[in-house]
Amino acid sequence: MSIEVIYTAESTATGGGRDGHVKSSDDRLDLDTRPPKAAGGSGDGTNPEQLFSAGYAACFLGALRLVAKNDKIAIDDATGITAQVGLGKDPNGGFGINAHLIGYLPGLEQSVADELMNKAHQFCPYSKATRGNIDVTLEAKV
């Protein structure tokens, strides 16, 4: 599928990758990366899963707000998304990730919140990129 690109993010990793440094071309992101303690690292820096979860949460919340607006559903300013990204060993001996997206949608009926989460999952670019590649589960809390 070809898209008409309207923005390109660019970052460079140096050093040891997970045990190194990442920096964006506009200098807005400039971080040391370290494996988490749970994966045998020092945990003294951020890690790729944290960066991915932050991006996924922000993107999904934007998608959720847009689908709610398109459906003429008012959502509370306290609405938020938590993206939990897990890192683990896959059956083939390598590593893989999964994601659990938790939507906090105060003031909505559970069925409406569930539907908005599902619609956002169809619309969000991160969800589209991961579909069929990693396990993503959705949960709505009202």
CA gyration radius, the chain: 17
Model confidence pLDDT, tens digit, residues 71-111: 999 999 999 999 999 999 988 889 999 999 999 999 999 99
pLDDT higher than threshold 90 for residue 43: no
* Separation in Å, CA 34 to CA 43, 54, 136: 6, 16, 25
Amino acid 80: pLDDT:
98
Name which of 60, 56, 139 is nearest 104 in CA terms: 139
As a whole number of angstroms, the distance between CA 99 and CA 108 comes to 24
Answer yes or no: is pLDDT of 57 > 70: yes
| 1, pLDDT greater than 80 | no
Residue labelled with tokens 């303690």: 37
Mean residue pLDDT across the chain: 95
Could you give the CA distance from residue 93 to residue 72 in angstroms, rounded to a whole number?
A: 47
What is the mean pLDDT of the segment spanning 9-28? 95
For position 51, what pLDDT does the model report? Answer: 96
pTM for this model (two decimals): 0.93
